[in-house]
Amino acid sequence: MEQYKKEFIEFMIDCNVLKFGDFVTKSGRKTPFFVNTGFYRTGTQLRRLGEYYAEAINNEFGTDFDVLFGPAYKGIPLTVATTVAIADMYDEDIRYCSNRKEIKDHGDKGILLGSPIEDGDKVVIIEDVTTAGTSIEETLPIIKAQGNVDVVGMVVSVDRMERGQGKKSALSEIEEKYGFKTTSIVTMKEVVEHLYNKPYRGKVVIDDTLKKAIDAYYEQYGAE
């Protein structure tokens, strides 16, 4: 596992973003782990988060694209932090764009904020975490409505590696249905590999009991 992935897993724990316990996902699944990117709350945290995203994007897609699109609301700071990081790390000036929940009818009008999306643009979508793959069904029509654009891929922070609408993972279903690549900074398999029975800051985060709960979750919801 690459060093930046190990650092990112520990970074999520330090920021209280990656939690273990009893939770319910947006799709209604009871889960022993939860990722809430709303807990990235400081400038330092957002700067580091953007760097992790930038490295994952560069590893999978390179920097030959025009716009990084983040769905409202959590995608807004993700696009800003990551485009800044791409500029700093790779000297590429990528435009950022997000959607509004309500169309603005005065001043800077329309449904988009940040850069417009234009004909011929190559777009990468950035999200926090994908569980069942439902959010892309709202996001993609907004992007496609802006013109003849090429969505080259999507990046999330954590691939939960569970079934989407069928038996395959949500990210695999997105790839097959929409025809673009997906990637993540880390997968839950990598999270478990890095934390299981290994102390971090003097505490074992994933012990045998929690590992059994995670295994049971994947027996029910894990992707084939």
Tell me the catalytic residues.
104, 106
43: left (phi over 0), alpha (psi -120 to 50) or beta: alpha
For residues 181 and 150, what is the distance between their CA atoms, to the nearest angstrom? 12
Q: Do strands 122-126 and 150-159 pair parallel, antiparallel, or not at all (unpaired)?
A: parallel
- Give the burial string for 142-179 (b: 16+ CB within 10 Å, else e): bbeebeebebbbbbbbbbbbbbbeeebbbbbbbbeeee
